[in-house]
Structure 1
Amino acid sequence: MYLVIVESPAKARTIGKYLGRQYKVKASIGHLVDLPKSRLGIDLENGFEPKYITIRGKGKILKELKEAGKKATQVFLATDPDREGEAISWHLCKSLGINESMPCRVEFHEITKEAIKKAFSKPRPLDMNRVEAQQARRILDRIVGYTISPLLWEKVRRGLSAGRVQSVAVRLICDREKEIEAFIPEEYWTIEGQFKEPKEGNIFPAKFYGKAGTKYNLTSEKEVNTVLQQLNGKNYKILEVQYQERRRNPSPPFTTSTLQQEAYRKLGFSTKKTMITAQQLYEGIEVGKKGEPVGLITYMRTDATFISPLAREEAAKYIGSVFGEAYLPEKPRVFTSRKGAQEAHEAIRPTSVTREPDEIKAFLTRDQYKLYKLIWSRFLASQMEAALIEQVKAEIGAGEYIFKATGSNIKFPGFMILYIEDDDEEEKERENRLPDLARGEKLELLSLSPSQHFTQPPPRFTEASLVKIMENRGIGRPSTYSPTIETILSRGYVIKQEKVLKPTELGFIVVEILKNFFPEIIDVDFT
C-alpha cells in the first residue's frame, strides 16, 4: 500500500479515485507544524533557527499520518505546487521520518487523471530552495510581527497586530485617504455640440477643442458664455477626417492577481470569495453522468502567464472548429510573465476547453459556474486573433473655433467576440461610432450644451485596485493578497463602505506609530 498525503479532503477524494485501491490518500488539513503562537519561536542568537511545534488541534491528524506511514510501502507527498506546499511536504518529511533527498514529492498543476498519472510516474526529491524561501519569509514575518505588535499593545490596545505586508497595505489606504482630504477641486467646463451630416441625416456629438489650432481650457462660466456668443451664427464644416486602423490584442490568461481583480469587477466577488470558489474548481467537482470528480481549472495561486503547449494546441483546435480559422492568430500566443514570477507554474486556465461552461452548469453552484465561465472565456480569448478597429477623428471648424469628434468601428471582432476585459473602453467606442464624413462637408448645428465639472480626487481603493497596486509594487505574493485584505478588515484598521476601503481612526493611529518607530518596516520599497 502506498500513502499519499495532500492538504484537503476534497483534493484527497478526487485523487483517490484516479489512483486506485493500492493507494491510500489522506489529508493533512493544511500545515501540521508551525512557529508557536505564544512566543517568538526563533533563536536570534543562533542563525535565526526556527523552533517548530505541532499546531494545537493537529496532533491527532499527525498521529494518524505517522501510523499510516509506518504501514505504507512508500509515502508520496502531493501538496500544492508552490513554496507553501513544498514547506508542508518538508515538515511532513521531518515528522514522518522520510528522507527528503529521496523521490517522495509529487507535483502537478491540475487535478485530472492524465496529470495525476504523469506526476506519479516521475516523483522527485524535495526542492529545498523553495522550502528555504518559504522559511525565510515566515521567519521575517514572525520577527516583524513579534517586534512591532507589543508596541501597539502598549500604545493603543492589546490584540492588535502588525506585519511586513499587512501594515504596508494599511499605509497605502491611509496615504490615499490623506491625498483625498488634501485635494482641492478645480472648476472646468466643456461644450458639446450635436451635429447633423447632410448625406444620411445622421446625428453625432463633438466636443469644443479650442481656437486657431490651440487647445483652450474653459475654467469659468464667463469664458463659456464668451465662446458661445462668438459661435452664434457661425457655419460649421469638416476641416479634416483621419482614419487609423489598430490591432487590439487580447489580455493574457489569468494570474491570481488579475483573476481577483476581474472577478471583483465583473462578478462583484470579494478576493476571499474568489479564492474559495477557485479552490473548489481546482480540487475537483463531480461532473457528467458518471459523476467522477475532476479538477476544472489549474492551480489558482500563480503569478505566471505561461501556458503548456498541449493546452495551447487544444485551444487552437477548439477555436478553429467553433469560431473558424479566421479567429486563430498566425502563431500561437505566448505571454511574458512579470519579473519574479514562478515560471514553473502555469496561468489559471480550464483543464480542458471542451468542458464548456453551459454544458457543466447543472453540476456547479451559481458562484462556481460564474467563475469557471470567466476563467474559460478569458483563456480562450487569450489564444484568439486580435481585433481590428478603425479609429476615426474628425475636426470641425466654426470660424477660428474647432470642435473634435472621435469614434471607432470594429472591422473584425477577433477575441472580442468572446471576452472583453471589464475596464476596456469598447462599449464607449461602440456608442461613439461616427457616420461617414468628408472633408469640406457642411454640417447643421442642432445644439450646443455647456457643462460645468470639477476635477476629482484620486479614488479610494477597492479590493481589486488594492490587489493591483500590491502586485505592481511587489507587496506580498499571490497567496497573500486575499488573507492580507481579510486581516486588515478584521483588525478594524480598514472598513469596507460601498465597495471601497476606508481607513479607520485606529488604522491611522497604527500607521503613524509604525512610521515613527519602524519607518523601514512600513516602507513600501522595503516590503
Structure 2
Amino acid sequence: MQKNLVIVESPAKAKTIEKFLGADYKVLSSYGHIRDLKKKEFSIDTTNFAPQYEIPSEKTKLVNELKAEAKNAGTVWLASDEDREGEAISWHLYEVLGLKPEQTKRIVFHEITKPAILQAIEHPRDIDLNLVNAQQARRVLDRIVGFKLSPVLWKKVKPALSAGRVQSVAVRLIVEREREIQQFKSEESYRVVALFTPANSKDGTEIKAELNQRFKNKEEATRFLESCKSAAFTIRDIATRPQKRMPAAPFTTSTLQQEAAHKLGFTVAQTMMIAQRLYESGRITYMRTDSVNLSSLCINASTAVIKELMGERYVKSRQFHTKTKGAQEAHEAIRPTYMDQTEIEGTPQERRLYDLIWKRTVASQMADAEIEKTTATIQISGQDAAFVATGEVIKFDGFLKVYRESFDEDSENETAEGNLLPPMETGQQLERKEIQALQRFTQHPPRYN
C-alpha cells in the first residue's frame, strides 16, 4: 500500500515535487480540471443556479487511474494551486474520487522549493468552500452570459469564438473608447522650443528650453518669433531642489504583464506561459497574484545580495502593501525563490523574464535615488512670457543602478532626466542659437494596449 498520494495540477510540477518528498510519496497530476459543465448543454438549473457537471471523455481514463491510486493510498494530499480555480480542482477531485475526510488533506504552497513543500505538508488544511463557491459562481456566470452571447459571435465574427463574463465587458470598454475617439475633435497649438548658449561661452554648451505658454494659431506663433529677433535673453531665476525617487513595488500578475510587454516585447499569453514554466521548475513564486507583499525570508535574502553586490549604502528594506480592495495579502508578489540566483539556465525567453523579475524584486529593497532638479527661468526682454529650462543630476543612483520602470512613451512630456545644464547664475546673458515654433495637434485618447 502506497502511504501517500499527492495530486497536483500539472505534470511538470509533479516531477519537481516528487524529488523533494522521497519514496513514501507518489505524486500524480490531474492535468487541470477533471470535470466541468456539460459542453453541448446549458447545464445550469435556473431555479437555484446549481451547476450540472460531467467528466469529459478525454479525462475518463485519467480519473479511473487516480481513483485506483487513491484507493490504495493511506493519505491523499490535494496540492492544486492556491487560487479559486485550484481550490475548485481540489474539491472536484475530492467529490469524483470519493475521498473520505479522514484520509484527505489539502495543502498549498506559494513556491516549489523543498522548504515550502515540507512546510505545507506540516500545515495541511481543509478545502475552503468559500473559494470553491466563488469559482463556481464565476463559472456559472460565464455560462449564463456566454451561452446566449457566443452564437451571436459565431454569426457576426467567426465560428468557435466564445464570450463570457470577462470578454463581453472588455468589448464594451473597447467600444466606448472607440466612440470617444470618433467624437474627438483635434485642436491645433504651437509649442515653442529654444536653444541658447551662455554669452562668452568658450565650450559651446547649449541650454534647451521651452516657452511657458502655447499659441493657438500660426499667426500668434509667427508674431512671437519675430519679436524674439531683437530681444535679449537673461536668466531671471534658478531654483535647485533635491528630490528622492522611490523604487516600484515588486511584481503582481498585471504589472509583470505590462513590464514584459514594454521591456521584452512579450504578449500577455507569452509572459504567463514563460512564468508558468519558471514557477513549475521552482524558479519563481506563484505567478497569479494581486499582492505586492514579500516574505521576511525574501527581504533578508535581498538585503544580503545587495550588500554583497553593491554595498551597505544601497540597502533599504521596505514592505509594500496592496491598495486593491479584497487583495489576498497572504500571497506574495512574484519573486525569485532564491534571491542569490542572479541568473538561471533555461531558454533565452525564460532567462530574460527571470532577469526582469529578479531586478524588480531587488530594486524594491534598495535605497531611494537622490536627484537634484534644476529649473532656470529665462526672461525675454519686452515680454511677459518666459522660457523654462529644466535638468536633473543623479547625485546617488540607488535602485536606478539595477532597474528603471518603463512608462508609455509621451513625446510631449519629455522628461528632464539626464538633461544636464551647464553652470549658470542669475542675471547671466544668453545668446539665442535657434527658436522654433512646432505645430502640435491634441491627440485622441489612445486605444488600449
Q: Same fold (TM over 0.5)?
A: yes
- What is aligned with 2:44? 42
- What is aligned with 2:209? 206
Contact preservation (8 Å) 1:102, 1:125:
no
What amino acid sits opposite 1:418 in the alignment? V
- What is aligned with 2:241? 244
Question: How far did residue 191 of structure 1 move?
Answer: 1.7
Question: How far did residue 230 of structure 1 move?
Answer: 1.3
1:365 matched to 2:359 = no
- What is aligned with 1:352? 338
1:382 matched to 2:356 = no
1:418 matched to 2:396 = no
What SS is found at the alignment partner of 2:404? coil
Q: Using a 3 Å threshold, how does the CA distance of structure 1 residues 197 and 424 change in structure 2: closer, same or farther?
A: farther
Question: How far did residue 73 of structure 1 move?
Answer: 1.1
Question: How far did residue 129 of structure 1 move?
Answer: 1.2
- What is aligned with 2:320? 334
What are the superposed Cα offsets for residues 115-137 of structure 1, whole Å, 9 maximum, x if unpaired? 11111112111111111111111
What are the superposed Cα offsets for residues 106-155 of structure 1, whole Å, 9 maximum, x if unpaired? 11000011111111112111111111111111112211212333555678
CA distance, structure 1, for counterparts of residue 155 and residue 320 of structure 2? 53
Question: How far did residue 208 of structure 1 move?
Answer: 1.7
- What is aligned with 1:434? 421
The 5-angstrom pairing of residues 442-521 of structure 1 reads 442-462=429-449
Question: How far did residue 325 of structure 1 move?
Answer: 1.1
The 5-angstrom pairing of residues 140-179 of structure 1 reads 140-150=141-151, 159-179=160-180
Aligned-residue CA RMSD (Å)? 2.0
1:324 matched to 2:308 = no
- What is aligned with 1:310? 297
Contact preservation (8 Å) 1:148, 1:162:
yes
1:266 matched to 2:263 = yes
Q: What 5-or-longer segments of structure 2 have no aligned partner?
A: none
Question: How far did residue 20 of structure 1 move?
Answer: 0.8
What are the superposed Cα offsets for residues 414-452 of structure 1, whole Å, 9 maximum, x if unpaired? 111000011189994334222222111111111112211
Contact preservation (8 Å) 1:101, 1:126:
no
What SS is found at the alignment partner of 2:57? coil
Question: Aligned residues, how many?
Answer: 440
Question: How far did residue 398 of structure 1 move?
Answer: 1.2
CA distance, structure 2, for counterparts of residue 393 and residue 25 of structure 1? 64
Question: How far did residue 91 of structure 1 move?
Answer: 0.3
Contact preservation (8 Å) 2:75, 2:103:
no
What SS is found at the alignment partner of 1:430? coil
What are the superposed Cα offsets for residues 318-351 of structure 1, whole Å, 9 maximum, x if unpaired? 112211111112x533333422211121100000
What SS is found at the alignment partner of 2:249? coil
What amino acid sits opposite 1:204 in the alignment? I
Q: Using a 3 Å threshold, how does the CA distance of structure 1 residues 154 and 228 change in structure 2: closer, same or farther?
A: closer
What are the superposed Cα offsets for residues 176-227 of structure 1, whole Å, 9 maximum, x if unpaired? 2222222222111122111112466421111122xxxxxx431222111111
CA distance, structure 1, for counterparts of residue 321 and residue 157 of structure 2? 48
Q: % of aligned pairs identical?
A: 47
Contact preservation (8 Å) 1:4, 1:25:
yes
- What is aligned with 2:391? 407
What amino acid sits opposite 2:437 in the alignment? P
CA distance, structure 2, for counterparts of residue 12 and residue 404 of structure 1? 62
Contact preservation (8 Å) 1:7, 1:28:
yes
CA distance, structure 1, for counterparts of residue 29 and residue 148 of structure 2? 34
1:299 matched to 2:281 = no
What SS is found at the alignment partner of 1:351? coil
What's the TM-score, normalizing by structure 1? 0.80
Question: How far did residue 157 of structure 1 move?
Answer: 7.4
What amino acid sits opposite 2:403 in the alignment? Y
- What is aligned with 1:504? none
- What is aligned with 2:376? 394
What are the superposed Cα offsets for residues 341-369 of structure 1, whole Å, 9 maximum, x if unpaired? 11121100000111112xx3xx2101000
Contact preservation (8 Å) 1:194, 1:445:
yes
What SS is found at the alignment partner of 1:238? strand
What SS is found at the alignment partner of 1:229? helix
Question: How far did residue 266 of structure 1 move?
Answer: 0.5
Q: Using a 3 Å threshold, how does the CA distance of structure 1 residues 37 and 100 change in structure 2: closer, same or farther?
A: farther
Contact preservation (8 Å) 2:236, 2:377:
yes
What amino acid sits opposite 1:207 in the alignment? E
What are the superposed Cα offsets for residues 347-403 of structure 1, whole Å, 9 maximum, x if unpaired? 00000111112xx3xx21010001000000000001111111111111101112411
What SS is found at the alignment partner of 1:312? helix
Contact preservation (8 Å) 2:291, 2:321:
no
What SS is found at the alignment partner of 1:73? strand
What amino acid sits opposite 2:206 in the alignment? I
What amino acid sits opposite 2:327 in the alignment? A
- What is aligned with 2:6? 4
CA distance, structure 1, for counterparts of residue 158 and residue 363 of structure 2? 51
CA distance, structure 2, for counterparts of residue 300 and residue 315 of structure 1? 19
Contact preservation (8 Å) 2:244, 2:369:
yes
Q: Using a 3 Å threshold, how does the CA distance of structure 1 residues 416 and 154 change in structure 2: closer, same or farther?
A: closer
What SS is found at the alignment partner of 1:40? coil
What SS is found at the alignment partner of 1:390? strand
What's the TM-score, normalizing by structure 2? 0.93
CA distance, structure 2, for counterparts of residue 43 and residue 350 of structure 1? 45
Q: Using a 3 Å threshold, how does the CA distance of structure 1 residues 237 and 155 change in structure 2: closer, same or farther?
A: closer
Contact preservation (8 Å) 2:363, 2:403:
yes
What SS is found at the alignment partner of 2:6? strand
CA distance, structure 2, for counterparts of residue 271 and residue 158 of structure 1? 24
What SS is found at the alignment partner of 1:141? helix
